[in-house]
Amino acid sequence: MMGQIAKIFGTPQLLARFALDSADYSTHMIRQIKENPILAIVMAEGLLECVQDPDTRDYLVLTEFVAVFIRRGEPIPHPFRAFAAGAITGKIAPRQRKGRPGSTLQRDFALWVATEIVAEQFVLPKYSNGSATRTTAAEIVAEVAEVPIDAVLHAIRKHKDFAPPILGAINTS
């Protein structure tokens, strides 16, 4: 049976576009951190480590982290104030990372969320192992996002064990 959200959007493509545009990794992680003290400690330790010598990826994560506090009008935690001031004035700049270019964390998260939502709301398989004859949620999301299907499958594999269920989606394949 098609979900209520699916009825509002009408097509899986429209729902996929909405999900891609509104998937916010930072807000989701902050919600999960507030619910899980152990995760909060691990994340805080990781962020504090990033502040010491941020590479390109660390810099992006830290600026987004600080921006969340600014947007909410909450005080920036003390260890991150110096970073925020340095980033704003340009005194702290990311050092170039060796190896792969910048993170695709936000993009992968959006692809995963969109696939979960489209699959659940339109009662579609998330992906196929080459044997399915029905269109899958991953194929729809890849088409709408204009990325290869492999990018969507990678995002699903990356997040299915890491990220808890979001927006009521069940986190299984």
At 173 the pLDDT is 38
Asked if pLDDT for residue 129 goes beyond 80, the answer is no
Tokens standing for residue 153? 């499958």
Residues 6 or more apart from 3 whose CB is under 8 A from it? Answer: 120, 121, 122, 123
107-127 confidence digits (pLDDT tens):
887 888 888 888 888 889 988
23-82 confidence digits (pLDDT tens):
766 666 666 667 777 766 776 777 777 787 787 777 877 888 888 888 889 888 887 898
CB 114 within 8 A of CB 141: yes
- The DSSP bridge partners found for residue 95 are 55
Between helix 25-35 and helix 56-72 the angle, nearest 10°, is: 70
Q: How many residues does the chain have?
A: 173
At 33 the pLDDT is 67
CB 87 within 8 A of CB 59: yes
Lowest mean pLDDT, pick from 16-20, 40-44, 96-100: 96-100
Lowest mean pLDDT, pick from 30-34, 143-147, 149-153: 30-34
Helix (H/G/I), strand (E/B), else coil: 95? strand
Residue 8: CB atoms within 10 Å: 11
